[in-house]
Structure 1
């Protein structure tokens, strides 16, 4: 309802409205959300110790290092991965990967949602200008004549501003802020995972290229042996059994080369997908470098509690827990009265030219208090839902910590054993190569059969392939440890 007042009484009204808004600002700091307490980490205080492998060489005594061990979170990915081509691919992926782009866009979405929720804590101020014309028929007037009336209004209004005495709006704003920050942490976790996945895909493709080159060289060597054996069969110097055995070995190597070529092409496709655009194929098939495995030896795992600060996925889970905790405060506040304030000041006139003349001032002041009496259990159900969601968030937070603990423990176990495994597999390869050399000498002297030589060739080929696979496993495990400790963000 608009009521006209003399101009001299408008300033006291403005002061009353200002005082009301100031009081609302002072009491809006209240909150009915439970005091937040971080749940205890459901993991041991230390990572499990890995017993020494059977037959492993005892570590040599060395002078204590004066340099503190590096933490993965402090080691930039460009330092951890010195390969220039890999650095280029990771940088391309960080710019073009669609999953990471979606994660960044979700941050923008969460930031907008938080700003919308935060805006409810301050009053909105609207300016309005309106005009109307209406006709009243004659039977509605005492004089029996129809009349045409005009009215013009202009003013400022604060529509339905909630005085947050019980912290409902503040709790919703706090929940939106925590959700926004959790989304930012989730993007950082996606960043780390992308760096690790690109590196693993890159080294997988390189290992397959090395294995393919080994298979192709083996095939060419066996093909030459097969041709020589066929000539010997035609000359009566060898049997058809030797020919078929050599043919079987040759075709086995050919099938392995084709299988590895297919796997390498698929690995290249996976790398292209992660990078977000085609990656220039690498030249040659150089052996896997040991730089990554050497760098991971300098990393310090620290204590499980360090993961709470280093891992963005754990920080994101805790922020989601804080958001759920804040939503309980909003659900509790819904049981209490909700007070809203609508107020407006302006001017009204029957003629537009006199809209702002003295004496045409108007104002309205409409406080409203709504007390829930019966809602068929809606508010209680909302509170139960809020508590259930908080319990879910607690379980999710604890599961995230346990998963992080397991990832680090697995990577530490791999770090302990895979170096010795690579050394053992290299010894197997060397032994098989020497065995083949000796059998070839015995065959040339007529002591060993050609089947013994073929068997040694097959086992040497298997040992060479297994060594490449072991070295790849050591490299990818080193990358897993780097990622599990929170590295790869810089």
Structure 2
């Protein structure tokens, strides 16, 4: 017994001392060391999701989406599956003991059929991990779990920004619909007055047709925005995973200029901050898993030591197991190595190496994409701010122009066509300002997501 167990104990002590997986080295980030930072965006404390979303209705809808979105639920279930798969991989590093009752009928040395009963413990095909194959498989499963956890955080961040984007888009379309309806009411009144003037000869047919055209254009805009508003609500309900009540939607009198919807997003950071993005972490963990799988493939080219055995009572009758049976044990070790497999193991190693090379390329592409998103959002932040200011100045000018043209028309110094043209330009400036304010808010969300948001590691 001692002679059998001593080599086994030595094998267990040596298990895993040889490691065939390459040493992992994080690839250098193929991006500049610094991010472009606009002067208008100063560094500051990083806002949480709750701090970022300053409107109570918007926060409530985002919380509902985090609780009910099916895509996020699937990502979280994928994490649970990976956690179970890791437990399976870790279990291979330990022996599996079973309680067994074995019955057999075999001939003895004289050719007489005899019965044999054995009851006790059984050790089933336990591999001594001499070359780290099992450990590398466990490491790969652990990295896959971390990758899926990071993927779930990335899905959560994407859901927050998608839901906020959908809600703010609905708010902008609601505001535009309100402006379009007001414009339609004004133009229908102008059309009514113009028709009366044309009947008494105070207005020309050209002026009447111009008024009719502007009224028709306003009706078309209202119909378009009503359709868009309904589609926005449907898109938001899909993200949230349930229908929303009017109290959770933007009110009819909403204005993107009426509240500070989003907190400022700090900038002025080095590009190393991108390495904490959840999607970048996911790509790196996938690379680590691919690196560990090379060790698994390489170990298959070398001998594998597998032991099995059993120990317990033995008797020629079932009742004898519990009364007068004898103790017996067996221990078997197998050291096997493939001598000819038509190059299968070498091909598996090459496949594992190519998978790692693909994972490196995917990681580098993810980092580059993260840099592009962050750089674009940072550069756009100040330009959107200036564009909002310029659009506000344009709206103020068009409001004054419309007022003065209306006064000139009332005293006969301007034509009706001039008045209608001023009203058309004013309506266009109002709609454009809403769109620019929405674009500035959405860019702030894009910057928050590009820098990792509240899901950044560390």
Alignment of 1:58-457 (within 5 A): 69-71=44-46, 75-131=47-103, 149-281=114-246, 282=249, 283-288=251-256, 289-292=258-261, 295-296=263-264, 299-309=266-276, 311-358=277-324, 360-457=326-423
Q: 1:1-60: per-residue Cα shift (whole Å, max 9, x none)?
A: xxxxxxxxxxx46x954872574254225321111100000000112366x9xxxxxx8x
In structure 2, C-alpha distance between the alignment counterparts of 1:183 and 1:190, rounded to whole Å: 10
- Please name the residue that 1:56 is paired with: none
Q: 1:296-343: per-residue Cα shift (whole Å, max 9, x none)?
A: 25x13411012212x011111110000000011111111111111111
Conserved 8 A contact 1:340-1:369: yes
Segments of 5+ residues of structure 2 without an aligned counterpart are none
In structure 2, C-alpha distance between the alignment counterparts of 1:125 and 1:279, rounded to whole Å: 55
How far apart are residue 445 of structure 1 and its match?
1.6
In structure 1, C-alpha distance between the alignment counterparts of 2:26 and 2:252, rounded to whole Å: 53
In structure 2, C-alpha distance between the alignment counterparts of 1:148 and 1:380, rounded to whole Å: 48
Range moving further from structure 2, 351-360 or 392-401: 351-360
Q: 1:150-204: per-residue Cα shift (whole Å, max 9, x none)?
A: 4322121111111111111111111111001100010001001100110010000
How far apart are residue 149 of structure 1 and its match?
4.8
In structure 2, C-alpha distance between the alignment counterparts of 1:274 and 1:180, rounded to whole Å: 26
**Aligned partner (choices 424, 434, 439) of residue 468 of structure 1:** 434
In structure 2, C-alpha distance between the alignment counterparts of 1:477 and 1:21, rounded to whole Å: 63
Across the aligned residues of Structure 1 and Structure 2, the Cα RMSD in angstroms comes to: 2.3
SS at match of 1:476: helix
Conserved 8 A contact 1:296-1:482: no
In structure 1, C-alpha distance between the alignment counterparts of 2:13 and 2:259, rounded to whole Å: 62
Q: 1:445-488: per-residue Cα shift (whole Å, max 9, x none)?
A: 21211111111111111110000000000000011111111114
1:88–1:445 Cα change, 3 Å: same
Q: 1:54-104: per-residue Cα shift (whole Å, max 9, x none)?
A: xxxxx8xxxxx9xx7123xxx211111011111111111111000000000
Conserved 8 A contact 1:191-1:488: no
Conserved 8 A contact 1:196-1:479: yes
How far apart are residue 225 of structure 1 and its match?
1.2
In structure 2, C-alpha distance between the alignment counterparts of 1:487 and 1:18, rounded to whole Å: 56
SS at match of 1:155: strand
Q: 1:126-166: per-residue Cα shift (whole Å, max 9, x none)?
A: 11113457899xxx989xxxx88543221211111111111
Is 1:33 the equivalent of 2:21? yes
Conserved 8 A contact 1:133-1:151: yes
Conserved 8 A contact 1:414-1:477: yes
In structure 2, C-alpha distance between the alignment counterparts of 1:141 and 1:417, rounded to whole Å: 98
Q: 1:389-438: per-residue Cα shift (whole Å, max 9, x none)?
A: 00000001101111110111011011111111000001111111111111
TM-score by length of structure 1 reads 0.87
Range moving further from structure 2, 357-366 or 122-131: 357-366
In structure 1, C-alpha distance between the alignment counterparts of 2:432 and 2:416, rounded to whole Å: 24
SS at match of 2:252: coil
How far apart are residue 240 of structure 1 and its match?
2.3
In structure 1, C-alpha distance between the alignment counterparts of 2:165 and 2:298, rounded to whole Å: 49
In structure 1, C-alpha distance between the alignment counterparts of 2:454 and 2:163, rounded to whole Å: 11
SS at match of 1:291: coil
- Please name the residue that 1:46 is paired with: 34
How far apart are residue 278 of structure 1 and its match?
0.7
Conserved 8 A contact 1:160-1:340: yes
In structure 1, C-alpha distance between the alignment counterparts of 2:146 and 2:264, rounded to whole Å: 30
1:305–1:103 Cα change, 3 Å: same
Structure index of larger Rg: 1
Conserved 8 A contact 1:290-1:475: no
In structure 2, C-alpha distance between the alignment counterparts of 1:359 and 1:439, rounded to whole Å: 114
TM-score by length of structure 2 reads 0.93
Conserved 8 A contact 1:439-1:448: yes
SS at match of 2:341: coil
How far apart are residue 351 of structure 1 and its match?
2.0
